[in-house]
Amino acid sequence: MTKRADKNLAASSRALRWTRKDLLGLRELSAEEITFVLDTADAFKQVGTREIKKVPALRGKTLVNFFIEPSTRTRTSFELAAFRLSADVINISATTSSLAKGETLKDTARNLEALHADILVLRHSSAGAPQFLAQHLQTSVINAGDGAHEHPTQALLDLYTIREKKGTVAGLHVVIIGDILFSRVARSNIFGLVKLGARVTLVGPSTLVPREFEKLGVTISHDIDDVLPSADVVNLLRIQHERQRKEYFPGIGEYVRLFGLTSARAKRLNPDCLIMHPGPINRGVEIDSDLADGVQSVILDQVTNGLAVRMAVLYLCAGIATP
Amino acid sequence: MKNPKQHAEFAAIPILDAEAIQRVLRRIAHEIIERNPALDALILAGIPLRGAEISKRIAGFIETIGKIKIDTGVIDVSMHRDDVGTRAELPVVRASQLPLPLDNRTVVIVDDVLFTGRTCRAAMDAISSFGRPARIQLAALIDRGHRELPIRADYVGKNLPTAASERVRVRFENLDNEPDGVWLLKPQER
């Protein structure tokens, strides 16, 4: 480490302290807080390389994974992160909870709190559900995706992966392609990337990439071939069939032709441009199969880094004393 | 995010200046050499931030005296502390770095101020998650007393009797942009 880096560390260690019990979205975080989480994740990533890959930080704490919408990656990642921190985990899905019997979300959550759950990781189809619960509960609430609103830990792990591979986020040109309108991943990424100083371009059909997004400080394009040559990172989003109640584009074939990252199209990319995807991948739709497995793809690094980022988030939010 | 702690309500009494710190660390280096004939088995592992700085300085002295390269490391104890969930704010956690494997090595934990002993206990836990060293020793620049656990230092720079309400302030030029020094901060009556 250089002397200058030492000084920066000393300065940051004095100036910055984490004080939030909830992580609801990236919109309310400052650039410093986002960087703080990423720095903390660095330390937790290193735990995975130890002989004993488990630390006692959250020993005796209980985490409830409350997933009203289906998920494998995010739920498993939170569960493993909690195990690595020595917390106990309960998993509840919509079908196994009393929500199916007509209990309200608030009542279910208050019952979980009465059982002394310390951390509630919530995935919900309605935007704002985590915020609602955070206001009513002492428990730490972590948003694991709420409707088309935010998915903060996904954006943090994307930022972490970009920073890890490129050294910095500031000044990079990040291109997000696909279903922006229905994507909580896109929203959280936009907030985070803009705050950390990246240049963001959104690409997709005008029905799925409306002009309103320009207010968030990004550029909009409907011509993928025009944008790809200057990209440092492309982040591909899945078409969210489950959220589209009517047809937003003529068909999959046309989508692939106009916006899919095909092998032919990828030749326009810089050789060191990163290809990212939050998963699950629809191979042959938003991305060609051999690109998803190619040298530019960091899709599996994203999964590995997700674990470190979620350990950091759980440690920080649950590590704060609640009144 | 809060501002750094203000020391305005404290009177600062100088304890060690830059020269005294170097003298004390050189003496600790000699003591470590005396106690550890196999210098190549040593790892000086500092606790961030200032313990890590002290470990580098002691390693420098041992290298000069013993003409041998000394391994250093960093142990961040945040994940192993027993007060998680009781603090209103959390500092950033740093990655631990130890030369592996630890088998047959002697790890010297290096900290700036030894107080309750809880940090040292957490450091021992952290080390054992990396492996099983032959032995663990403890070096501290300042021992201010008030132990809450059965822990004592093998190497002490200066024993400094303190009241619980007092604080010890350690600064290093290359980290803090102010001259090396140790001060005892006494709370002032208003």
pLDDT > 80? residue B189: no
CB B39 within 8 A of CB B68: yes
Smallest CA-to-CA distance from A9 within B2, B51, B94, B124 is with B94
pLDDT > 70? residue A207: yes
Percentage of chain B modeled with pLDDT above 70: 95
CB B137 within 8 A of CB B154: yes
Could you report the per-residue pLDDT of B52-96, keeping only the tens digit for each?
999 999 999 999 999 999 999 999 999 998 887 777 888 888 889
ipTM entry: 0.75
Distance CA(A236)–CA(A46), nearest Å, equals: 28
Could you report the per-residue pLDDT of B135-188, keeping only the tens digit for each?
999 999 999 999 999 999 999 999 999 999 999 999 999 999 999 999 999 998
Could you report the per-residue pLDDT of A246-297, keeping only the tens digit for each?
677 778 888 889 999 999 999 999 999 999 999 889 899 999 999 999 999 9
What is chain A's mean pLDDT, rounded? 90
What the block records as the tokens of A277 is 């995807």
What is chain B's mean pLDDT, rounded? 92
B129 touches A: beta carbon within 8 Å: yes
Beta-carbon contacts of residue A279 (< 8 Å; ≥ 6 apart)? A73, A238, A299, A302, A303
Beta bridge partners of B187: B10
pLDDT at B161: 96
Widest CA span in chain A: 61
Smallest CA-to-CA distance from A314 within A160, A124, A132, A139 is with A139
CB A311 within 8 A of CB A41: yes
pLDDT band at A82 (very low <50, low <70, confident <90, very high): very high
CA angle A139, A141, A146 (to 5 degrees): 150
pLDDT at B145: 96
Q: Which residues of A touch B89 (CB under 8 A)?
A: 17-19, 320
Phi, psi (deg, nearest 5) at residue B16? -130, 140
Nearest to B175 among A10, A30, A320 (CB): A10
CA angle A55, A57, A59 (to 5 degrees): 95
Nearest to B84 among A6, A40, A58 (CB): A58
Phi, psi (deg, nearest 5) at residue B17? -100, -175
Q: What is the mean pLDDT of residues A194-220?
A: 95
Distance CA(A90)–CA(A141), nearest Å, equals: 15
Distance CA(A259)–CA(A124), nearest Å, equals: 29
B127 touches A: beta carbon within 8 Å: no
Beta-carbon contacts of residue B75 (< 8 Å; ≥ 6 apart)? B45, B46, B47, B96, B98, B109, B123, B126, B127
In terms of residues, how long is chain B? 190
State whether A12 and B92 contact (CB < 8 Å): yes
Could you report the per-residue pLDDT of A1-44, keeping only the tens digit for each?
344 455 555 555 445 789 999 999 999 999 999 999 999 999 99
Q: How many CB atoms lie within 10 A of CB B139?
A: 26
Q: Which residues of B touch A47 (CB under 8 A)?
A: 79, 129
| Residue located via tokens 């030369």 | B99
* Per-residue exposure over B161-179, b if at least 16 CB sit within 10 Å of its own CB, e if not: ebeeebbbbbbbeebbeee
Give the type of residue at A51: E
pLDDT at A85: 95
The torsion of the CA quartet A45, A49, A50, A53, rounded to 10 degrees, works out to: 60
CB A125 within 8 A of CB A148: no
Phi, psi (deg, nearest 5) at residue A166? -105, -10
Q: How would you class B64 by CB atoms within 10 Å of its CB: exposed for 0-12, middle for 13-18, buried for 19 or more?
A: exposed
pLDDT at B7: 47
Q: How far is B91 from chain A (nearest CA, A)?
A: 5
Distance CA(B29)–CA(B57), nearest Å, equals: 9
Smallest CA-to-CA distance from A204 within A184, A227, A185, A187 is with A227
User: Does a cis peptide bond (omega within 30 degrees of 0) precede residue B49?
Assistant: yes
Helix (H, G, I), strand (E, B) or coil at B68: coil
State whether B86 and A321 contact (CB < 8 Å): yes
Distance CA(A310)–CA(A279), nearest Å, equals: 16
Smallest CA-to-CA distance from A221 within A160, A174, A189 is with A174
A104-118, A142-156, A240-254 — most confident range: A142-156
User: Chain B interface, mutation test: which of A34, A40, A85, most B Cβ atoms within 10 Å?
Assistant: A40
Helix (H, G, I), strand (E, B) or coil at B81: coil
- In what order do the strands lie in the sheet containing A173-177? A219-221, A199-203, A173-177, A233-236, A274-276
Beta bridge partners of A202: A176, A220
Nearest to A6 among B4, B97, B175 (CB): B175
pLDDT at A113: 84
pLDDT at A116: 87
State whether B4 and A14 contact (CB < 8 Å): yes
